[in-house]
Amino acid sequence: MIKVALIKAEDYSESKKCVERLIKLLDFKTPGKKILLKPNMLDPYGPEKAVTTHPEIVKAVANYFSKKGVKIYVGDGSGGKTPEKTLTTFEKTGIKDAVKGLAEFTNFDEDYERVGLDNKDIKKILIGKKISEADLVINLCKLKTHVLTIMTGAVKNTFGCLYGSQKKMAHIRYGYAKSPKKNVDGFSEFLVDLHSKINPQLNIMDGILAMEGNGPSAGEVIKANVMLASTNAFALDYVAAKIMGFDPMKIPTIRISIEKGKFIPADIEVVGGSIEDLKMSFKKPITYSQNEGIIKKIFNAIFSSYVDVDKSSCIKCGKCAIQCPAEAITMNEYPNFDYKKCILCYCCHEMCPKKAIVIKKKLKFKK
């Protein structure tokens, strides 16, 4: 059986108690002397925005393992392309202050190495160097929706282990400009294979404050009041999807992980709490398919997604153009989109600090 610990957690002041309970429910033992904590540090948002792992959760985990006499690192590569951006995110999220005196920071956009990857398309990747040096990698993920992969959970969080330019490479490889049918599934299979390479031995999900709607940064904050943990991230995401009120089989990373034999849903044992008691109904991203069978096929044949700018919210910062992997955005006061180049990775939407990049639907034959 695969244990997934699920508990009600109503406030971050309870972080220490919640972390200790989750670890006890899993009967998890600490291996080795070097531990790497991998939080979600997407962008420099404050913890109240529910974009990143709350600093109190990171602090609680660091505190717990510091008592085991181990060396602790905190590492990530943010959604930007430079080491400076990741360092700024470390500071602005409150994580730097939270782990002061407990852990040393390692910047995956600065200290990285080339490793092999068991993926049908991408065979070599650059990841944070401390990952291979650690005896234990702990994945501190956030419960959120995601417009490309439907949800951001434990598996998607390890995308941040890649060196900056590698994220662009992955998006380009599976973009619509290359192969329309492979975009989401191909990218999601890459995420599954990447996670298997990183192989965190413990995954703890922060869902006290979560995100619904058009996440992972432009959605709406929701008080979900849950925390989850498991040694199997794929099973953890399966339970988390149910908590969100989603069909797990509509989450590409979950479906693909089952197809690849990463876990069997029937083998999951939920301990600590009940899915039914804690289940919610998250607003779904606009990209979530509500329909099945012939209705879905007709809808997808008629309508397509595209990105646009809300000029009333846009501050003309140009961040969307800087972050676009396909270089499909130019600035002419406001962003201009070259839809022939656009690969619908939604990075512009994800990285916009003002939620000014919006996703819309249009008839495919409409110019």
| pLDDT in 10s for each residue of the chain, 367 residues | 999 999 999 999 999 999 999 999 999 999 999 999 999 999 999 999 999 999 999 999 999 999 999 999 999 999 887 899 999 999 999 999 999 999 999 999 999 999 999 999 999 999 999 999 999 999 999 999 999 999 999 999 999 999 999 999 999 999 864 554 468 999 999 999 999 999 999 999 999 999 999 999 999 999 999 999 999 999 999 999 999 999 999 999 999 999 999 999 999 999 999 999 999 999 999 988 754 556 666 666 677 889 999 999 999 999 999 999 999 999 999 999 999 999 999 999 999 999 999 999 887 766 5
- Are 3 and 231 a contacting pair, CB within 8 Å? yes
pLDDT of residue 363: 79
What are the tens digits of pLDDT across the range 91-134? 999 999 999 999 999 999 999 999 999 999 999 999 999 999 99
Cα atoms in the Cβ-side hemisphere of radius 13 Å centred on 243: 35
- Angle subtended at Cα 122 by Cα 234 and Cα 193, rounded to the nearest 5 degrees: 10
**CA separation, residue 25 to residues 18, 19, 231, 262 (Å):** 10, 10, 11, 22
pLDDT of residue 180: 47
What are the tens digits of pLDDT across the range 310-353? 999 999 999 999 999 999 999 999 999 999 999 999 999 999 99
Segments in 75-151 forming alpha helices (H):
83-92, 95-98, 129-133
**Phi/psi-derived region of residue 316, left when phi > 0, alpha when psi is between -120 and 50, beta in every other case:** left
305 DSSP β-pair partners = 361
What are the tens digits of pLDDT across the range 270-284? 999 999 999 999 999
pLDDT of residue 11: 98
**CA separation, residue 58 to residues 78, 100, 228 (Å):** 16, 11, 14
Tokens of 272: 């600590």
Beta-carbon count within 10 A of 310 CB:
13
Instruction: Pick the closest to residue 158 from 113, 189, 106, 195 (CA basis).
Output: 195
Tokens of 147: 């417009």
In whole angstroms, give the CA distance from residue 38 to residue 366: 44
pLDDT of residue 303: 77
Q: Write the burial class of residue 253 (CB in 10 Å: 0-12 exposed, 13-18 middle, 19+ buried).
A: buried
Residues 6+ apart with CB under 8 A from 84: none
Q: What is the DSSP string of 4-33?
A: EEEEE---GGGHHHHHHHHHHHHT----SS
* pTM for the full predicted model: 0.95
Q: What is the DSSP string of 242-295?
A: HHHT--GGGSHHHHHHHHTTS--GGGEEEESS-HHHH---PPPPTTS----HHH
CA 240 to chain centroid, in Å, comes to 13
Q: What is the DSSP string of 138-192?
A: EEEEEEEEETTTEEESHHHHGGGGB-HHHHHHHHHHTSTTT-TTTHHHHHHHHHH
| Residue with tokens 């990075």, as numbered in its chain | 347
Domains in the chain (CATH in brackets) are: 2-278 (3.40.50.11440), 293-363 (3.30.70.20)
pLDDT of residue 177: 47
pLDDT of residue 90: 98
Burial track 328-367 (b if 16+ CB lie within 10 A, e otherwise):
bbeeeeebebeeeebbbbbbbbbbbeeebbbbeeeeeeee
- Are 190 and 156 a contacting pair, CB within 8 Å? no
pLDDT of residue 109: 97
DSSP structure class, residue 236: H
Tokens of 99: 């782990």
pLDDT of residue 182: 65
Average pLDDT in the chain: 94
Tell me the residue length of the chain: 367
